[in-house]
Amino acid sequence: MRDIYTRKSPRSGDCLIDKMGYYLELSRQDIDHLADLQRQEQTWRVRDVVREMGAPTEMFYVVKTGWCFSYTIMADGRRQVLQIHHPGDVIGIPDIAYEHAVTGLQAATDICLCPFPKSRLDTIFTDSPRLTALIMTLGMIDHVVLLDRIRTIGRMNADERVAHFLLEILSRLRITNPDVGDSFELPLSQELIGDTLGLTNVYVSRTLSLMERAGLIERIDRSIRIADEQGLRDMADFQDRYYRIDTSWFPGGALEKLSAGA
């Protein structure tokens, strides 16, 4: 199911550096830059709103611990969850095009984020073309994951949507934590999952129960075991967008060639 693609930098225990280092051999300077983004920390409790829709977009955030999510709400209360953010993710880049945030940001668990001002990216852009290319590429991965989501919501039925969702979470987790195996904690309410997939909490509940009875997954509290990964992949037409990316065009090719043999 997975081939021999290998992590490019050793794990450090810092999730941003781990995520970046999964794709790229990081220089000492790159690591310093990434550490620099995480000097400030701030915590929120479950269900706290970190940033309202329409707030000025001065800050980006790096997720240090916990899960949070971006969403929009319509006047009558209908909510659509747009993205789930995990440790190591950088939040806010799409907002650079606008003066006010187009999405809200809320804590799905207790979380610790590292806010940093837009301007901090400038130094990275001028100092490290490789890191810049990686940041852009990670943005494009997010983009492609959104395309998958559109296909999922637009053309798949409930069980296919849920299957795809679970697999997407799993592959995302595997980047920073290769040891997850086939089970993981899913600290998201079924209402939130429904608002992500264009379903209701009620139907998510029914669907998960059915999938469990069908032997596709197992559940204990909020932990999920993917019992039949290939079965889920087949039904959801799933492709892993995180596992392997194309870095061949990145600047600084010499370094790249060195690590390509790994």
Partner DNA sequence: CGTGATGTTGAGGTAGGTCAAGTCCCGTGG
Partner DNA sequence: CCACGGGACTTGACCTACCTCAACATCACG
Least distance to DNA from the beta carbon of 108, Å?
9
Do 136 and 94 form a contact (C-beta atoms < 8 A)? no
Over the window 126 to 155, marking each residue x when it contacts its own copies by CB under 8 A and - when it does not, the resulting string is ----------xx-xxxxxx-xx-xxx-xxx
CA 47 to chain centre: 19
Closest to 158 (Cα-Cα) out of 118, 121, 202, 114 = 202
Least distance to its own copies from the beta carbon of 153, Å?
5
- Choosing from 78, 220, 221, 261, the residue that interacts with its own copies (CB under 8 A) is 78
Closest to 176 (Cα-Cα) out of 12, 37, 66 = 12
Q: Does 231 bind its own copies (CB under 8 A)?
A: no
Amino acid at 100: H
d(CA 128, CA 251): 9
Start-to-end CA distance of the chain, whole Å, equals: 20
Q: Closer to DNA by CB, 25 or 160: give it.
A: 160
Partner touching 102 among its own copies, DNA, none, CB below 5 to 8 Å by kind: its own copies
Token readout for 48 is 């706290």
Q: Does 109 bind its own copies (CB under 8 A)?
A: no
Farthest CA pair distance, the chain? 56
Q: Does 218 bind DNA (CB under 7 A)?
A: no
d(CA 53, CA 92): 12
d(CA 239, CA 83): 18
Least distance to DNA from the beta carbon of 44, Å?
14
Partner touching 203 among its own copies, DNA, none, CB below 5 to 8 Å by kind: DNA
- Residues in 48-67 that interact with DNA by CB under 7 A: none
Q: Closer to DNA by CB, 35 or 202: give it.
A: 202
Q: Does 80 bind its own copies (CB under 8 A)?
A: yes
Token readout for 198 is 């264009």
Do 70 and 105 form a contact (C-beta atoms < 8 A)? yes
Partner touching 261 among its own copies, DNA, none, CB below 5 to 8 Å by kind: none
Stretch that binds DNA, among 67-75, 156-164, 223-231, 246-254 (CB under 7 A): 156-164
Q: Closer to DNA by CB, 171 or 201: give it.
A: 201
Least distance to its own copies from the beta carbon of 190, Å?
16
Stretch that binds its own copies, among 13-21, 24-32, 77-85, 208-216 (CB under 8 A): 77-85
Residue whose token pair is 């993981």: 184
Which residues make beta-bridge pairs with 32? none
Distances (CA, A) of 186 to 23, 67, 71, 219, 220: 25, 10, 18, 10, 10
Binding site for its own copies (CB under 8 A): 57, 72, 74-75, 78-80, 82, 93-99, 102-103, 118-119, 136-137, 139-144, 146-147, 149-151, 153-156, 195, 197-198, 237, 239, 241, 245-246, 248-249
